[in-house]
Amino acid sequence: MTKKIKKSVVFFEAEGGTDKGDDGHRRDTMPMVNAVKAQGWNAEVLFYRNDKKDEIIEYAKENFDAYISRINPGNIPGGEAGYFDMLRSLSDAGLVGMPHPDVMTGYGAKDALTKLTDTDIVPVDTYAYYSLEELRKKFSISLSRGERVLKQNRGSTGEGIWRVVLADERNFEKGDKLPADTKIKCTEAVDNHVEMHELGDFIEFCNQYLVGENGMLVDMPFMPRIKEGEIRILLVGDMPIFVVHKKPAEAEDAFSATLFSGAKYRYDKPEEWAELVDLFLSTLPEITNKLGGYDLPLIWTADFMLDDDEDGGDKYVLGEMNCSCVGFTSHLDQGIQEIVADKIITTIGE
């Protein structure tokens, strides 16, 4: 029996936060709502609260075909578990998840990179640590092989993302376990500030990123060509919409591509990065398969850095993906909200 479509979708938001306009909504939410309505569908916004979860579930099950999440789960008071439980309940009840909570964690968690190390876009020496014991045992070996970047799983402003390089006068063999008193220089991406540490102390400091819900650290090689800029592809489903070229500040140790740290942003058309875009799109089936087989997120990004291939040409390295709550307010005047509305309606009707 074919399920009857209600032609109705719900957008979930959270109350408060610096991403809201004067009307209390994210600046890209109401344009999407209005674009869906312009096609003759119903669209509503509900503000999620953990203490209202059961009420929201019952209302949404009764009234909507799909949900669109416009919440950064890490910013929900009381934690994200209740929100994800609600989304799973709605998905189990037949609502189309945009995205499903497992897609948020599968694509958005930093350890997604470790599941893609046998593709052409992630270095094979990329690791994930889930305990202090793992970090102590393995990071001192990976650092002996060259400069590294440690990334915490939480946050999106560069906090807890550290560039780590040996600053010790002693000579160490690659592949050896470095002693705890090894001198290291650490630069944090949030503002490119530099700290000098002993390795053992820094590892203990990093335990804060391992504790709690979804605590983890990803360890990958540092890409020196990040100084040329990080390249972000924004997509709606499998459609590239624009590319952001984010060039770090000119300071000696700067490597962060956030606006807060002084990076400069340039917005390009996908065809201006045809080689990268074609590579990524050709890899999508493999990525989808390795990350759980779910439909691609509705609105999401993939961030790349430049590296050199064996012949001295350009090579692209995936740094992370994000699909929890990607914004596109800078391009509302280009009608992206209509593209999103088309994708929502097409997906529900499939």
What average pLDDT is seen over the chain?
Answer: 91
How does pLDDT run across 66-89, given as a tens digit for each residue? Answer: 999 999 887 777 778 899 999 999
CA-CA-CA-CA dihedral for 326, 290, 105, 227, to nearest 10 = -50
Correct CATH for 225-329 of 3.50.50.60, 3.30.470.20, 3.30.1490.190, 1.10.260.40: 3.30.470.20
Q: Which CATH class is domain 114-224?
A: alpha beta
Which helix H or strand E contains 340, and what residues bound it?
helix 336-349
Report CA-CA distances (Å) from 297 to 175, 222, 318, 325.
39, 28, 17, 10
Domain ranges of the chain: 8-103+338-349, 114-224, 225-329
Q: What is the pLDDT of residue 138?
A: 97
How does pLDDT run across 234-278, given as a tens digit for each residue? Answer: 999 999 999 999 987 777 776 767 766 677 889 999 999 999 999
Grouping H, G, I as helix, E, B as strand and the rest as coil, residue 251 is: coil
Q: Tell me which architecture the domain covering 8-103+338-349 has in CATH.
A: 3-Layer(aba) Sandwich (3.40)
Instruction: Report the predicted TM-score, pTM, of the whole model to 2 decimal places.
Output: 0.91
